[in-house]
Amino acid sequence: MTSPILISPSILSADFARLGEEVRAIDEAGCDWVHIDVMDGHFVPNITIGPAVVKALRPHSQKPFDVHLMISPVDLYLDAFAQAGADIITVHPEAGPHIHRSVQHIKSLGVKAGVVLNPGTPAKMLDYLMDDVDLILVMSVNPGFGGQSFIENQLRKIEAIRKMIDKSGRDIRLQVDGGIDFTTAPRAIAAGADVLVAGTATFRGGPSAYAGNIRKLRGG
């Protein structure tokens, strides 16, 4: 695998009282993307932020905003998050009636489109989406909360999807989110991931530690 390893810190683990400063801090510390978890208390058992917060954060970083929508029905909000400044929008097949249509709509907004697979969602779900997606996100925990432990059997799914991507010949990023730390990061990378979402592991130790944390997650 020749793709560089990208780190997309999840601001779910940031200090929400100073979110703009936190986004600037991870940007300066060398993150590649900024991962924004959007939860509605319905599709997942937690409530986080909406498009207004994404818009407010946009001036604080030029790095790509990687917006993971854990909301249902998701289609109603795609335009709002694109307009708020998302560069990548990832959606779950279970969050709307027609995942292919959702992906097409994201692309029509000039934004990169991703599909998210929960731990119980099989890789086969991607069979007829590979021609359209820019990103595949494997959840290595059940979505809803930060700080959970990595689910080991997702490594097999990462390996299977890496083979699917390589076979497709398309430039598709393979992202992993959930329980990523200094122990699980190299294992996810070895299985084929090239983008790591890490919240707790990035933000541990405060701003002075962010650069070292990001470097260590990347394998440096």
> For 122-162, what is each residue's pLDDT tens digit?
999 999 999 999 999 999 999 887 778 999 999 999 999 99
Q: Look up the domain containing 77 and give its range.
A: 6-218
pLDDT of residue 68: 98
5-31 average pLDDT score: 97
Q: How confident is the model at residue 2 (pLDDT cuts 50, 70, 90)?
A: low
How far, in Å, CA of 129 to CA of 171, rounded? 13
What backbone torsions phi and psi does residue 67 show, to the nearest 5 degrees? -105, 115
Q: Is residue 66 part of a domain?
A: yes
Q: Please indicate if the annotation marks 199 as binding a ligand.
A: yes
CB 61 within 8 A of CB 24: yes
What's the domain count of the chain? Answer: 1
Q: Is residue 61 part of a domain?
A: yes
Instruction: Please identify every residue annotated as catalytic.
Output: 37, 177
**Residue 1 pLDDT exceeds 90:** no
Mean predicted lDDT score pLDDT of the chain: 96
Q: Please indicate if the annotation marks 41 as binding a ligand.
A: no
Q: Please indicate if the annotation marks 92 as binding a ligand.
A: no
Q: In the chain, pLDDT over 90 holds for what percent of residues?
A: 95
Place of tokens 């070292």: 212
Q: In the chain, pLDDT over 70 holds for what percent of residues?
A: 99
List the CATH number of the domain containing 189.
3.20.20.70
Q: How confident is the model at residue 48 (pLDDT cuts 50, 70, 90)?
A: very high
28-40 average pLDDT score: 98
How far, in Å, CA of 78 to CA of 68, rounded? 11
* CA-to-CA dists, residue 93 to 7, 73, 78, 119, 122, angstroms: 24, 11, 14, 13, 11
- Could you tell me the sign of the dihedral formed by the alpha carbons of 62, 102, 158, 198, in that order? positive
Q: What is the arrangement of strands in the sheet containing 34-39, beginning at the earlier edge strand? A: 6-9, 195-198, 173-177, 135-139, 112-117, 88-91, 65-70, 34-39
Q: Is residue 1 part of a domain?
A: no
pLDDT of residue 23: 98
Greater confidence, 220 or 197?
Answer: 197
Q: Is residue 138 part of a domain?
A: yes
Q: Is residue 91 part of a domain?
A: yes
Q: Is residue 84 part of a domain?
A: yes
**Residue 174 pLDDT exceeds 80:** yes
Q: Please indicate if the annotation marks 37 as binding a ligand.
A: yes
